[in-house]
Structure 1
Amino acid sequence: MKFVQVPATADDVEGHRRRHPTSAQLSALAALHRNLAMKKHARLVLRHNGFSGSSELVDALLNRVSTIASERRSRATKRIQARLGSVPQWAMRHLLAAASPSAAAGTPQGRLEQLRKTSMVSAAKSCLRHGAAGGSSFQVRLTKNPAEVGYTVTIDSNRDTYRGRFKGWAATEDHHAITAPIDWRVRVLKRGLATAGGMLTLDLHPLVGQGDIELFQAVWVSQARGYGVAVHRGVIARLGSEVFHAADAQGAIQGVTRKLKLATEPAKQRVSAYALSVEGFLARYGRYGDIPVSVEDARDTGACEYGIRSWCQAVGIDPEEGCVELSRVLDGFRTHPMVEVRRTVLHAIQACRRGGG
């Protein structure tokens, strides 16, 4: 049976409610729609090809697409390792992206453009919330005009996701539109600042540094409420392995200098805490779960305001609450284990001990 490729924008059809694809047919549909990611789109694929659009089959098709993609990555990884030997994980990700079927099609210029977009989306997904129940999408536009650089999230909904007694309920979708410099990989990624401080860096322009401090005029994106984002324009300072975001160069210099000083102060407890795994850190300090932690504790460790608020929004903590229990901070650390959070936790515990709490 010959199947048709169905775009995500196709009109909905009835399909055949009692007709289910075989395992081979499901694989054929998955191979034909390699970038399938949304339940609504999967349902359209099944119905347009004459099958039932039941939630079970939708999940089965999405799982088959994921399985095929995983198998392709595994085979590509083995070929790269056989050819190049041991490859760092970050380099492997980009080699796999370049070797992907979508990148392999078309002209060399087309493959380069696809690699640029894939790298941008990978960085965005690593630090910004995405994947709502109704589906998620990312669109990247490359530009040579710095004034056009930006990031927007559009929230939509569909009523085809849920079944059973929830049928007809609206499911949220998040659609991300990114406008990035055409040379983002050279300008940002290769400098190691793509996700500096847990936020997505969209653009960088080197400024005259101060001593060992590197300065960049930058555009970056922080997490806002829900799936929303906030775009900031300011200066990023880097000193060694520490970075600091600020509105101007002077604030960035002062912030990164203070941050590095606090991070390198000799303290046996601090060093041993940093050597722990995430689970080990949670196990050791979980017993202090009732201790109050405030935004001021994070500021006292040298964390920048943008990074503090972005991390709080990413883990569902309202920065305006004033104080939250340490247990909530540790829950957030489990999913977003930033080094600045370790410092904040240790600072809050030490402050409590000094106060006799």
Structure 2
Amino acid sequence: MAGLTTWAIAPLLAGAALLLPLGTANQAQAIPPRYYGVNLASGEFAPEKLPGEHGRDYVYPGAATAAPFRAMGMNSVRVPVLWERLQPRPNAPLDAAEMARLDASLASLSGFQQVILDVHNYARYRGQLLSRANGGELVDLWTRLADRYKNRPEIAFGIMNEPHDIGAGEWRAIAEATVAAIRRTGARNLVLVPGTRWTGGHSWQAGGRDSNAAALAGFVDPGRNMAFEIHQYLDNDSSGQHACSGPKVGRARLEGVTRWLRQQGAKAVLGEFGGDQSATCLAALDDLLGYLRENGDVWIGWNYWAGGDWWGDYSYSVQPSGGKDKPQAAVLRRQIASYRRP
């Protein structure tokens, strides 16, 4: 998630759960996504307390946390983790105790068609930005993770969350080397590759020759099983910290990157998006999901930000509270139900 982790509380909308129109008129003829789900955040919490105490500073999600989303019909969950907890020193073995905790979490989520393992580090290790000089550290991490999970086809490899302040060309070199290393292990799992600039859909063409659009064109996956991971929030600065800007803002911000994906013959997953409980945000979420379905030839999945038991009063949270769904859940639930129409 881009930006701060302290959030303003959006006012509750009376009757917010009432049904909104589904997407747009041509949605019924569109291609539904293959994967649709939620981020189950908490494994990446408290990076300032590394390694922190499991169960107090951070926790990996389990079956009970995921149960409401399975009941909603979701088939995908994204599980953020911190690199430094899995591998306390670069190029060193994975931490056995930490991996046992993560393995237990992933096992409890195995009923989902897709479980995205998301290294939530912003192209950094202990605050140090990756570069061509130290990019081999990420290659080493993913070589070890891929070797561990290559026989678990439901686990998708999210190689890095929201790189930023790194050139797009430099990031491509690191990402391409990482994907090549994953394939050398024999892993055929789906790999999700982000861009830089927080991998924002709205900024995909920004930066001229060093834009994601220019630098990532023709990206090579030897295994031919990858998608770009793109994030798009709906507030005024696309940071995911404010109220939504308007009911059609999502499609407006994704039009450019959607054209680029189609030109490239590439696929993408919307790895993070979300909104508060206001009428504007609920309409914007509905329209955004309708847009993804209209363009299902390139958009193969989405994961809402966020679920998880530790969010408290975070206004974008879709984790049920006191046994009650959040208003955003009504939009997600109806969209998912529409995918099953004959």
**TM superposition score category, shorter chain reference:** under 0.3
Greater relative CO (CA pairs within 8 A, separation 6+) = 2
Higher strand share: 1
Q: State TM-score, norm by structure 1.
A: 0.25
Q: State TM-score, norm by structure 2.
A: 0.26
Q: Which has the larger radius of gyration?
A: 1
